[in-house]
Amino acid sequence: MKKSLKRIILAISISALAFLSLAGCGKSGLDSGNSEDSKVETKKPKDIKVGASLSTLSNPFFVSVKKGINNLAKKNGTKVQISDAQNDTAKQNNDVEDLITKKVDVLIINPVDSSAITPAVKDANEAGIPVITVDRSSDGGKVLSLVASNSTKGGKMAAKFLIDKLGANAKVAELQGIPGASATRERGKGFDKYAKGKLDIVAKQTASFDRAKGLSTTENILQGNSDIVGIFSQNDEMALGAVQAVKATNKNITIVGFDGEEDGIKAVKSGKMSATVAQQPEEMGRLALQAAYNYFDGKTVKKNIESPLKLVTTESLNK
């Protein structure tokens, strides 16, 4: 379905909803962007239709987010439709428009790009559908709640580990995520701020949260910076790519990832990676859906719901 046609259908749907509202047939939805709005129509979990758009299901982290949503939904009889944006901003916006047209009661979105998702979030706002974001925020539109780890704090944890492990002024590189994604900005901000004056960051390049790009980007960095002794990767997928690149050089380089996904934890346990800042993606999915339940139950929903973080090291896993 072409975008223009979708917008026409969406406009018709919005007009119909407005008419019903005037006639006294109010629809549950987001009128002011918070759960304290007295106009929210209460609904039981089994009566809520949930639409979810995840950035990519090629990454095990987001497969775990999906699992967290589905497990809680199954327990409560909630209908859920989940789409895979395949790290494509245009596809994600189209997916969200489809879910709006299908009149879901709530949207759970893990944006590919925090800026590019803004038009879709605003369309959801116009349709009266509350939006809950996961892991990454939206730069625009009204979001009921963001469920995420404190990425800035996590970046700081990674920097502190490298300083403790390698000593002051060690030469390190930083693999960055998708440009524009809030996780990229915040993990980088936390790392760079804490490392300033303590580590020598000789290279910072994006590998778009992708394992294959993590491999090729690290190869390029190592060719120009043979004296690097540490790498901070803003997610485990890129870190695992870096592991392959470092292995080919036979160098001893300390690699720290972020996420705590299954493959990342295995690499830390075996010593291929030294540490990862572990999130709990399944818990993120569960918290997002629970926030939707709370909203339709008339309870207060926090604008920011923090999911727990912990630093996992080779030593801690092999105690």
Q: What is the CATH number of the domain that holds 218?
A: 3.40.50.2300
Mean pLDDT of 35-57: 86
Let me know if residue 103 belongs to a domain: yes
Helices (H), 23-59: none
On average, the pLDDT of the chain sits at 89
pLDDT at 56: 95
Report which secondary-structure segment, H or E, holds 219: helix 211-224
Residues 155 and 187 placed together within one structural domain of the fold? yes
Let me know if residue 136 belongs to a domain: yes
Residues 133 and 190 placed together within one structural domain of the fold? no
Helix, strand and coil content of the chain, in percent to the nearest 5, comes to 45, 20, 35
Q: Which domain holds residue 218?
A: 151-278
Residues 176 and 121 placed together within one structural domain of the fold? no
pLDDT at 182: 81
Say what the pTM is.
Answer: 0.70
Let me know if residue 29 belongs to a domain: no
The answer to whether 278 and 260 are in contact (CB under 8 A) is yes
What are the angstrom distances between the C-alpha of 230 and each of 45, 103, 222, 254? 47, 49, 11, 5
Q: Is the pLDDT of residue 25 over 50?
A: no
Residues 132 and 156 placed together within one structural domain of the fold? no
How sure is the predictor about 38, in pLDDT bands with cuts at 50, 70 and 90?
low
Q: Select the more confidently predicted residue: 11 or 125.
A: 125
Residues 158 and 241 placed together within one structural domain of the fold? yes
Residues 289 and 301 placed together within one structural domain of the fold? yes
150 Cβ neighbours under 8 A, 6+ residues apart: 306, 309
Residues 85 and 185 placed together within one structural domain of the fold? no
Residues 192 and 265 placed together within one structural domain of the fold? yes
22 Cβ neighbours under 8 A, 6+ residues apart: none
293 Cβ neighbours under 8 A, 6+ residues apart: 45, 48, 76
- pLDDT tens for residues 66-89? 999 999 999 999 999 999 999 999
Query: Parallel, antiparallel, or unpaired: how do β-strands 310-313 and 275-278 relate?
Result: antiparallel
Edge-to-edge strands of the sheet including 170-176? 199-206, 170-176, 230-233, 254-259, 275-278, 310-313
Let me know if residue 32 belongs to a domain: no
Residues 194 and 214 placed together within one structural domain of the fold? yes
How many domains in the chain? 2
